[in-house]
Structure 1
Amino acid sequence: MEDNINYRSKRIWGMNAVVFVTGLVSLLTDLSSEMIVPVLPLFLTTVLHVQVTSIGLLEGIAESTASILKLFSGWFSDKLGKRKPLMVFGYGLSNLIKPLFALSTSFSQVLAIRFIDRFGKGMRGAPRDALIADSTSKEERGKAFGFHRAMDTLGAAIGPFVAFFVLSSFHENYRLIFWISSIPGIIAVLLLIFFLKEKKKTNIEEEIFGKQTRPKISFKGLDRRFILFTFIATLFAIGNSSDAFLILRAQDVGMNSALIPLAYFAFNIVYTLFSIPAGILSDRLGRRPIIVTGYLIFALIYLGFGLITKSLWVWGLFILYGLYYATTEGVQKAYIADLVPEGKRGTAIGTFNALTGIAALPASLLAGFLWETFGPASTFAVSSGFAALSAILMVLLRV
């Protein structure tokens, strides 16, 4: 049931001020991050000569760390009744550590930096999503999460474009990209500190938590549909390996290294353009049909990545990949917020992210193993199968 809350607040360009500022911070942070993401696998394989299985291990550990920490940060933000302090810590940690990739000379150093970066992401993610949910009504929540994903992804689109420019102009100087990434990251943290205004809340700790004194994965008192959806999303996550494998596949079929960030740019532009429409559509038609559509799109994309033999196809598949993200990322968060009351949203989002995040480690390890043992096609075929099964379960179980 929707809590009796006054959602009227200051607006910036017609958007809730909290949502707008949070979106701007995410834009700058993702600009910084996505300068690194499409080139890091290339840096690892061509400069540090790391094996694909090791990249799977790195990405699995990194993403699992981020998601599991969202369990703690979501729970803790509920307990505090405040979201902003954890957001400042998380964004600050990630944006200060990422430039150190430029100094790394070994796989273990890259692993440590990536771990700390994802630690920061884990600390900020659930409180941020809970703050957006707290600040909006159910009728505009899909639009709000869609706006946030659009801003986040606009930054993620600009980042690879900058990386493409640097790689083209400075003879594939990966380390220079890592240094430049610090600029938008620092600006993001300053905006968060000085411009995000969080309303003070009444302490509702005893009402919500009772004697609970530590975070834990728990479905107690939560809607049956939330429980089923979480387990289906976790099944989907087992087949959803790191995007690093898409980048390596692009290189595997002959795409020039400097062009890969540009393909990633195209993916993020599509993601940006369709995030708000997908969120609005979910407000009108319901979240479930949009999420099922996203899962089916993913299944087709990964099947395609397994079958392609020429780099030209990579462009079309990355564009479709943007549609998958637009129809799932923000819509899933809005769906969770619909199913869970305000006082438990941080914990629920944390539980959801913890379970799907735990799956990220076996997902990337499995992808790396299949790649090395049976070839790239097997990696993408298995992922496609998991996505199709998840979509079918969403329909059959009426989640």
Structure 2
Amino acid sequence: MPSCYSLKASIQSLANMSHERRRIIGKTRLSPIIVIFAYNILFMAASGLLVPGTPLYLSTNGFDGNSVNLILSSIAVSSLIGQITWGYLSDRAMNRLFFLHLGTIGYAFGYFLMIFLRNRFVLTILLIATSFVGSASYPAAMALLSEISSVKNRGRLMGIFWSAASLGWAISVAFTGLIINELGGDYFFGLCSILYFASLILVYLGLRVKNTRASDVKEKNRVFPLSSIFSLEPPFLAFLLGSVVFFMADFTKNVYVPMFYAFELGLGMVTATLLLSLTSWLEIPINILFGHFSDKLGRKTIVLVAYMLCGAYMLVNSMVSSFEGALVAMSLYGFVWGAFSGASSAFAAELVDEGKRGIAMGLFNSSWNIASMLAPMSIGMLSQICGYRLMFSVMGVSMFLTCFLIIFGVRKKA
């Protein structure tokens, strides 16, 4: 790939190679990038079971609808607080691998213990606690990848990273209902635990580094988490707000669009979920393609493309009246997520200084949790009052308006 930077800039970039990258190179048995990608496949395979499987398991094991919603909201809040807290601490320690290990261990042991639990109250507490500890892992992995890549290839690598996530998700999500209905909760939690343990072993054996010394901690990171958030650059905060709006649209795609297809169009839940699976498979090559485009054309440009495609996706859904229309709409979303995933992850890393990437990635990942809390209270209520089609139209217009936030609010070039 031809370089778009001068030789002087390239030499300066090599001279300023991140602390984490210098500690890893020469210490690994496998390429750290390959290890992180393989970790992501296993990690997201577990998530593909847990995200749809947890409410299904709770609903079929004595929890009523209100309890399920309360538990899921508590898990989202726990993950939100955890991602911000662990991201802040990883910036202070400047050791992403420790927090990657910590989060994966938390998930693996937490779901292992759930195999033996029968008390609903204890299970609820453990679900929330596991979400808090486990949330340390993914932002650390993304921050680590951003620090062992360069500006020239970061978009492409983030695209491959999210393609690995789509692959893991697509493989496992198809079997979630079967595992819970036919095998039960013990096998469900046990398989999730095995996948997290496997990802932990892979990262532990594949990425070997020395422990970070206390002298490696940068003095500028010794601030309270809230101060760290407000010290982030305004372009990043504007981008973060735009990400929350985007993830509200993504939540709509995962929750309300399948309900619209299944019940209002009469396609049924099986067809609706198969269309979701189709989208995940389409995302695998498209993530890589748009990640490469973001290296060539710029992160901001590709993020804006994603927002405009998302707005178009919502407006198309407002007009869908048949299976063929639904197929076109869900195929379009493969391009939406493909454009957003790699470019946005690289963009988030490049809008802040290296010493703030942990909390920045924590906030960026937590924007999904924020959207998951806001969407039911806004988008969900709107769909109940005005119907799905008007709700899709409002969401589409919102995405187009959010483009102006990125155009005028994110002026820093990445």
1:137 aligns with 2:150: yes
Mapping of residues 94-243 of structure 1, within 5 Å: 94-98=107-111, 115-116=128-129, 118-163=131-176, 166=178, 175=185, 180-198=191-209, 203-210=215-222, 212=223, 214-216=224-226, 218=228, 222-237=232-247, 240-241=250-251, 243=254
1:89 aligns with 2:102: yes
**Which of 16, 21, 31 matches 1:17?**
31
1:67 aligns with 2:83: no
Residue aligned with 1:139, SS: coil
Amino acid at match of 2:286: F
Mapping of residues 256-335 of structure 1, within 5 Å: 256-335=268-347
Seen in structure 2, the aligned counterparts of structure 1 residues 173 and 355 have a Cα distance that, compared at 3 Å, is: closer
Please report the TM-score for the alignment, with normalisation by the length of structure 2: 0.78
Residue aligned with 1:340, SS: coil
Q: Deviations over 1:316-355 (max 9, x none)?
A: 3333222222211221121122222222211232344456
Asked whether the equivalents of residues 101 and 200 of structure 2 are also in contact (C-alpha less than 8 Å), the reply is yes
Deviates more, 1:151-160 or 1:111-120: 111-120
The Cα of 1:288 is off from its aligned counterpart by 0.8
Seen in structure 2, the aligned counterparts of structure 1 residues 232 and 264 have a Cα distance that, compared at 3 Å, is: closer
Partner of 2:387: 375
Structure 2 distance, partners of 1:376, 1:44, is 27
Partner of 1:29: 43
Q: How many residues align?
A: 391
Asked whether the equivalents of residues 83 and 366 of structure 2 are also in contact (C-alpha less than 8 Å), the reply is yes
Amino acid at match of 2:208: K
Task: Give RMSD over aligned pairs.
Answer: 3.8
Residue aligned with 1:241, SS: helix
Structure 2 distance, partners of 1:320, 1:94, is 33
Asked whether the equivalents of residues 133 and 337 of structure 1 are also in contact (C-alpha less than 8 Å), the reply is yes
Partner of 2:9: none
Seen in structure 2, the aligned counterparts of structure 1 residues 63 and 220 have a Cα distance that, compared at 3 Å, is: closer
- Whose RCO is larger (CA < 8 A, sep 6+)? 1
The Cα of 1:113 is off from its aligned counterpart by 6.1
Q: Deviations over 1:135-174 (max 9, x none)?
A: 111111112211211111111111123447x47xx97777
The Cα of 1:88 is off from its aligned counterpart by 1.7
Amino acid at match of 1:142: G
Amino acid at match of 2:103: G
Deviates more, 1:104-113 or 1:340-349: 104-113
Deviates more, 1:318-327 or 1:369-378: 369-378
Structure 1 distance, partners of 2:371, 2:190, is 32
Please report the TM-score for the alignment, with normalisation by the length of structure 1: 0.81
Structure 1 distance, partners of 2:352, 2:247, is 21
Asked whether the equivalents of residues 240 and 383 of structure 1 are also in contact (C-alpha less than 8 Å), the reply is no
Amino acid at match of 2:136: M
Structure 2 distance, partners of 1:259, 1:10, is 49
Amino acid at match of 1:90: G
The Cα of 1:282 is off from its aligned counterpart by 0.3
Structure 2 distance, partners of 1:323, 1:127, is 26
Could you tell me which runs of 5 or more consecutive residues in structure 2 were left unpaired when the two chains were aligned: 1-11
